[in-house]
């Protein structure tokens, strides 16, 4: 549904995107993670037709975002980071204006606005001024406005920033509901636990390019039924050299970290391959005291990929 | 109806300046009428005052004062029009909707101009007082009003261009006012300086506007007050001075509109 190939964008000679690629399937809830200045917002703006790429291609629903921007606008709903509202408008008036802006007219307009009010939980406050709403309610209003024309693709740039925990839970729940309705969602966020909870895959981006985690993956699978690649921590007593030798000699095993009494390895092939490595270590004279599968959470993968300076 | 026009007009009329500015504007114009009336009727050098002379003087004074006041007000409405969308971070919502940059521009332009035209219309009863004294016909009122509208449309388009170029309303408004000063004051200064140089280089002789070289006359074709003066000519004498001014202001406005659309299409800071 979203296909980005070698996209490039410079601002005054400084590259914001330098050949980033991404594929998001129909109906997926896909995360985009990277440090500040990585190019996430620039990518979102290109996909939402706000700015043009200098090179590469970007398609949404098979439509080129530059050449077919008007058709793309019908397909997408874009929620920028730090979105704004017209403070002096009424809640209903705000939604009606954007319904008009999306050419939703007649009875469809009234139905769309009513649906948006119900969905955002603002049905009781339709007569209030936007200025009177709390920050969380304004975010809900903006999301409701983004959904007015029933987009097939949602582009959400840091939608949870500034929300309290309850509002974040409600946002996650709404995004899951939208995904269940068949909407494809690309979401960037710094709140990794939120992404981990809702996304099926997460792409890593740094310095405008695809980045890889410590295991070499540029796209992290979070909802795969059975991960073909697993990370194991091995602790042993005595000399480290035999353990290193064995780890480097067994097929399907890749050394990620090593220390005087521990190794971290990536094993491709599941439990059988892990058993082979353990057997080889023991046969090789290594006194193994711990051999554990380590479930690496998103935060740790992020830390390993981008370093501790980017929390 | 373009949703932008409806939204802009509603928002403008909700602001305090929506009623404050027309009230102040009418007060100032009324004060000018009273002042002009007393100046013309209490002239000790004249034994009797003709009503037509009062009417003409009143009309001219009001037309020039009105243009001056509206030139001061037009940038207030147009130059903050797009920057406010940037400042409150709503421009991206407009640009990702199905509204085209042309519709966004047209909505902003019409609402800015309509508010200035509202001021112009509210002043018509004051202007029509000149009719009571005579000496002024509907043609003079029509041509002066049309000229004022063309100037204000052009200034509004320039204000919108400034608004699309700058990030903050204060900068856009400052540059819009600088433009107004440039076309009103600077063009007049340049014209008079060049006229003095031209006259000093030649023996005293009578000359008319059209016998002056074009390079000396040229700056005044950009001057709104000269444009208004040219509009007082009879219909058959509007060409070439008034027509040239009209063309210059229309081209200036069209150029500003084209550049604004370009900026809206290339807007990256949204």
Residues 6 or more apart in contact with residue A88 via CB below 8 angstroms: A129, A130, A131, B11, B14
SS3 content of chain A, % helix, strand, coil (to 5): 35, 30, 35
- Range of lowest pLDDT (A126-130, A295-299, B87-91): A295-299
Distance CA B177, CA B185 (A): 11
Do A194 and A242 belong together in one domain? Answer: no
Mutate to test the interface with B, among A97, A109, A143, A156 (most CBs of B within 10 A): A97
Q: How confident is the prediction for chain B on average, in pLDDT?
A: 88
Taking the Cβ of residue B141 and every Cβ of chain A, the question of whether any pair is shorter than 8 Å is answered with no
CA distances to A45, A69, B4 from B85, rounded to whole Å, are 17, 21, 12
- Structural domain ending residue among the three candidates A215, A238, A260: A215
Cβ-based contacts of A100 with chain B (< 8 Å):
3, 6
Please write the tens of the pLDDT for every residue from A270-310.
778 888 889 899 988 899 999 887 666 677 677 767 765 44
Do A150 and A195 belong together in one domain? Answer: yes
Mean pLDDT value across residues B70-83: 92
Taking the Cβ of residue A80 and every Cβ of chain B, the question of whether any pair is shorter than 8 Å is answered with yes
Do A200 and A233 belong together in one domain? Answer: no
pTM score, whole prediction: 0.80
Taking the Cβ of residue B93 and every Cβ of chain A, the question of whether any pair is shorter than 8 Å is answered with yes
pLDDT bin (cut points 50, 70, 90) of residue A154 is very high
**Packed helices B169-181 and B51-78: angle between N→C axes, nearest 10 degrees:** 150
Residue B190 pLDDT > 60, yes or no?
Answer: yes
Provide the percentage of residues in chain A whose pLDDT is more than 70.
92
Cβ-based contacts of A86 with chain B (< 8 Å):
7, 11, 88, 90
Residue A207 pLDDT > 50, yes or no?
Answer: yes
A222 or A240, higher pLDDT: A240
Taking the Cβ of residue B84 and every Cβ of chain A, the question of whether any pair is shorter than 8 Å is answered with no
Domain count, chain A: 2
**Assigned token pair, A66:** 């530059």
* Domain residue limits at A57: 2-215
Taking the Cβ of residue B94 and every Cβ of chain A, the question of whether any pair is shorter than 8 Å is answered with yes
Do A149 and A266 belong together in one domain? Answer: no
Mean pLDDT value across residues B49-60: 81
> For residue A70, what are the β-bridge partners?
none
**Packed helices A135-146 and A91-101: angle between N→C axes, nearest 10 degrees:** 30
Do A24 and A117 belong together in one domain? Answer: yes
Q: A282 lies in a domain?
A: yes
Mean pLDDT value across residues B39-63: 77
Please write the tens of the pLDDT for every residue from A73-123.
999 999 998 888 999 899 999 999 999 999 998 899 999 999 999 988 888
Confidence at residue B268, expressed as pLDDT on a 0 to 100 scale: 55
CA distances to A233, B20, B41 from B17, rounded to whole Å, are 70, 5, 35
ipTM of this model? 0.83
Q: Is B6 in Cβ contact with A74 (below 8 Å)?
A: no
Phi/psi of residue A147, nearest 5 degrees: -95, 0
Residue A231 pLDDT > 90, yes or no?
Answer: no
CATH number reported for the structural domain that contains residue A261 in this entry: 3.30.70.250
Do A23 and A133 belong together in one domain? Answer: yes
Do A271 and A249 belong together in one domain? Answer: yes
Q: A132 lies in a domain?
A: yes
- Range of lowest pLDDT (A55-59, A238-242, B209-213): B209-213
Taking the Cβ of residue B3 and every Cβ of chain A, the question of whether any pair is shorter than 8 Å is answered with yes
Interior CA angle at B41 toward B35 and B47, to 5°?
Answer: 155
Residue B269 pLDDT > 60, yes or no?
Answer: no
Do A51 and A133 belong together in one domain? Answer: yes
Interface of A with B in 240-279 (CB under 8 A): none
Max CA pair span of chain B: 70
Q: A206 lies in a domain?
A: yes
Strands A209-210, A55-60: pairing kind: unpaired
Confidence at residue A311, expressed as pLDDT on a 0 to 100 scale: 40
Do A197 and A255 belong together in one domain? Answer: no
Confidence at residue A225, expressed as pLDDT on a 0 to 100 scale: 47
Mean pLDDT value across residues A177-191: 90
Q: A222 lies in a domain?
A: no
Taking the Cβ of residue B12 and every Cβ of chain A, the question of whether any pair is shorter than 8 Å is answered with no
Strands A219-221, A201-206: pairing kind: antiparallel
The kind and range of the H/E element at A78 are strand A76-79
Distance CA A129, CA A88 (A): 6
Confidence at residue A197, expressed as pLDDT on a 0 to 100 scale: 80
CATH number reported for the structural domain that contains residue A134 in this entry: 3.40.50.300
Mutate to test the interface with A, among B96, B99, B263, B269 (most CBs of A within 10 A): B96
- Tracing tokens 């051999």 back to the chain, one arrives at A291
Distance CA A163, CA A144 (A): 16
Do A87 and A203 belong together in one domain? Answer: yes
Do A188 and A289 belong together in one domain? Answer: no
> For residue B211, what are the β-bridge partners?
none
Q: A308 lies in a domain?
A: no
Nearest to B98 among A89, A103, A145 (CB): A103
Do A167 and A243 belong together in one domain? Answer: no
Q: How confident is the prediction for chain A on average, in pLDDT?
A: 87
Q: A300 lies in a domain?
A: no
Mean pLDDT value across residues A137-162: 91
């Amino acid at each position: 549904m979203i296909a980005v190939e070698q996209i490039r964008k410079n601002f005054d000679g400084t590259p914001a995107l330098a050949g980033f690629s991404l594929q998001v399937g129909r109906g997926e809830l896909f995360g985009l993670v990277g440090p500040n200045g990585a190019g996430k917002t620039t990518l979102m703006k290109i996909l939402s037709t706000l700015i043009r790429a200098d090179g590469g291609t970007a398609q949404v629903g098979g439509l080129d975002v530059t050449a077919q921007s008007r058709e793309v606008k019908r397909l997408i709903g874009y929620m920028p980071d730090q979105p704004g509202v017209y403070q002096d408008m009424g809640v209903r008036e705000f939604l009606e204006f954007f319904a008009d802006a999306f050419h939703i007219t007649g009875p469809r307009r009234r139905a769309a606005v009513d649906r948006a009010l119900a969905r955002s939980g603002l049905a009781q406050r339709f007569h209030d001024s936007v200025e009177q709403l709390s920050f969380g309610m304004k975010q809900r209003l903006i999301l409701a406005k983004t959904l007015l024309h029933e987009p097939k693709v949602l582009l959400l740039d840091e939608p949870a920033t500034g929300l309290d925990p309850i509002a974040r839970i409600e946002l996650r729940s709404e995004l899951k509901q939208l995904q269940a309705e068949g909407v494809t969602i690309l979401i960037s966020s710094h709140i990794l636990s939120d992404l981990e909870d809702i996304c099926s895959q997460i792409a890593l981006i740094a310095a405008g390019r695809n980045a890889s985690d410590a295991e070499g993956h540029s796209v992290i699978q979070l909802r795969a039924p059975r991960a073909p690649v697993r990370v194991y921590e091995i602790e042993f007593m005595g000399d480290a050299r035999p353990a290193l030798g064995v780890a480097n000699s067994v097929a399907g095993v890749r050394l990620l970290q090593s220390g005087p009494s521990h190794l971290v390895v990536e094993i491709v092939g599941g439990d059988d391959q892990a058993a082979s490595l353990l057997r080889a270590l023991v046969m090789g004279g290594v006194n193994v005291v711990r051999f554990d599968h380590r479930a690496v959470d998103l935060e740790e993968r992020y830390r390993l990929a981008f370093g501790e300076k980017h929390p | 109806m373009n949703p932008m026009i409806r939204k802009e007009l509603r928002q403008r009329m909700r602001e305090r300046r929506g009623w404050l500015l027309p009230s102040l504007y009418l007060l100032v114009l009324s004060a000018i009428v009273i002042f002009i009336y007393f100046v013309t009727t209490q002239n000790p050098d004249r034994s009797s005052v003709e009503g037509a002379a009062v009417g003409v003087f009143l009309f001219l004074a009001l037309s020039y004062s009105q243009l001056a006041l509206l030139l001061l007000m037009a940038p207030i409405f147009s130059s903050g029009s797009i920057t406010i969308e940037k400042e409150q971070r709503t421009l991206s919502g407009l640009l990702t909707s199905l509204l085209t940059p042309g519709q966004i521009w047209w909505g902003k332009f019409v609402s800015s101009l309509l508010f200035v035209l509202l001021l112009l219309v509210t002043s018509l009863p004051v202007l029509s007082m000149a009719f009571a004294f005579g000496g002024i016909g509907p043609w003079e009122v029509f041509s002066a009003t049309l000229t004022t509208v063309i100037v204000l449309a052009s200034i509004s388009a320039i204000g919108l261009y400034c608004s699309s170029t700058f990030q903050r309303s204060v900068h856009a408004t400052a540059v819009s006012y600088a433009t107004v000063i440039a076309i009103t004051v600077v063009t007049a200064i340049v014209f008079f300086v060049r006229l003095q140089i031209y006259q000093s280089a030649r023996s005293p002789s009578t000359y008319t506007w059209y016998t002056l070289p074009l390079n000396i006359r040229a700056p005044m074709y950009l001057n709104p007050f000269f444009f208004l003066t040219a509009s007082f000519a009879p219909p058959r004498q509007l060409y070439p001075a008034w027509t040239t001014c009209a063309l210059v202001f229309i081209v200036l406005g069209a150029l500003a509109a084209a550049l604004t659309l370009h900026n809206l299409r290339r807007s990256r800071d949204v």
